[in-house]
Amino acid sequence: MCGILGVVSQTPANQLLYDGLQVLQHRGQDAAGIATLDGRTFHLHKGNGLVRDVFRTRNMRALKGNAGIAHVRYPTAGSAVDHNEAQPFYVNSPFGIVLGHNGNLTNTAELQKQLFVEDRRHVNTNSDSEVLLNVLAHELQVNSKGLRLDVPTIFAAVSGVHQRCRGAYAVVAMIAGYGLLAFRDIYGIRPLVVGVNETPQGPEYLVASESVALDTLGFKFLRDVAPGEAIFIDFDGNFHSQQCSDKAKLNSCIFEYVYFARPDSVIDGVSVYETRLHMGEYLADKLKREWSDVKIDVVIPIPDSSRPSAMQLADRLDIPFREGFVKNRYIGRTFIMPGQAMRKKSVRQKLNAIGVEFKGKNVLLVDDSIVRGTTSREIVQMARDAGALKVYFASAAPPVRFPNVYGIDMPSRAELIATGRSDDEICREIGADGLIYQDLEDLKAAVRKANPAIVDFDCSCFDGHYITGDITAEYLDAIEAARGADKAGKPVDEDQMELDLAMSVSSM
């Protein structure tokens, strides 16, 4: 998962982009980057690490210009340690483009071959985002007439991208001399929103992965970018949009609502917070049906994303809700940290139990989901060590049994605790006295309850149905092997962890 931003402003864009990345930091902790455009020159700084660590005052001063894009990343394709794969990416031909991408292409290998053999383009990294950038650049070249671009040509190029690229992609890109381009894949798997800020000098526009970035930066929410749609904002502040695919149909990633998105965001007309409340209601109803004889003294959430579901579940069951874990907010989110050993080590550094809430009680722990099970196992043991008599576990999401290939780091079936195991076997693996999962249809209902207009979702990690229609067993085997090799990791030269570029481009 990644977070992206794009802005056309009336004032310097660097601080806006930095502040926006801070708000979207939950979407990726592996790397961060900002690119701005000042006249004919792109300024780019990117590197591995958190936003606050990648950017220093000297870097911010060098990011000149009133327009730019920004990106926070964690790895799903490519390497977790290679600083060269931090985004944004840049190409200088045909027009000078920088691009940031959230998602994952599923036909990267095919596109790489096409780019080399047919389009005569060289891709320098293993990142599918660089592939996507080169596809866009080529489509701009073949659709342009002469040395100038116009809005219809730009939208025709996006149509070409949709025809060639499969998978999930929400994209922001800047074209030197022209403006900010943003578009979303034909299924709308990854989120993308646009907002406006009216100023005396004229309108400013901001495109972001989540609406919370608009709120915190003072922009008024306009709307979600539709699946298959492209928007283009020129440097005079003129807003253009067009549907660029006749096959577009919304299939939002349901895991955004479960875990990734901030609760104060609204995605495709759905309040994430409201959805998580409904998830708790449906889960409580299932507990009533299936665990009517189970005595539970207290409901305790596993911070932070499960808190609304746990709170609503406790209220519906008339069981006391208590905060039983204190979270160290200076430790990163374990789910998106590269490497299983690092993830396991960080659990007890990240959470500490409040003994009085556990001692002598039958405790129901509520989490948003169970993916690898490593964290769940550690937390169940922490509850026992704190004196709990019984430890029951509830997941507000269904079992994660299948890899996600659309931009979420669930690549290996061997890593997913639910793959090939029954609920009872999973319960034994995490050491709980009882385990209950949300039903998939109830999860869908929880989202639709917040917005009845939502019909379909990408639920591939739960049901194994890949909506792009191109995922085979051989494909899954290949990406698991490739990502496993990447995650083994290599030594990194700390002096090479960041990259600063100032690139002069011609404005035709």
Residue 461 falls in the annotated catalytic set: no
Provide long-range contacts, Cβ within 8 A and 24+ apart, for 234-242.
234/8, 234/151, 234/178, 234/179, 235/8, 235/66, 235/67, 235/178, 235/179, 236/202, 237/8, 237/10, 237/202, 237/203, 237/204, 237/205, 239/196, 239/203, 239/205, 240/151, 240/155, 242/155
According to the annotation, is 285 in a ligand binding site? no
Burial, 130: exposed, middle or buried (Cβ in 10 Å; 0-12, 13-18, 19+)? Answer: buried
Contacts of residue 42, defined as CB under 8 A and 6 or more positions apart, other chains included, come to 35, 36, 90, 96, 98, 174, 176, 501, 502, 503, 505
According to the annotation, is 305 in a ligand binding site? yes
Q: Measuring CA to CA, how many Å separate 346 from each of 2, 33, 366, 412?
A: 21, 26, 20, 21
Tokens linked to 18? 């930095």
Cα 21–chain centre separation: 13
According to the annotation, is 368 in a ligand binding site? yes
Per annotation, catalytic residue among 2, 165, 244, 459 = 2
Q: Measuring CA to CA, how many Å separate 311 from each of 303, 321, 341, 404, 451?
A: 12, 6, 32, 29, 21
Residues paired with 33 in a beta bridge = 46, 71
Residues paired with 173 in a beta bridge = 99, 181
Spatial contact of 145 and 151, defined as CB atoms under 8 Å apart: no
Residue type (1 letter), 336: I
Per the annotation, binding residues are 305, 367-368
Per the annotation, binding residues for Mg(2+) are 305, 367-368
Please list the active-site residues. Answer: 2
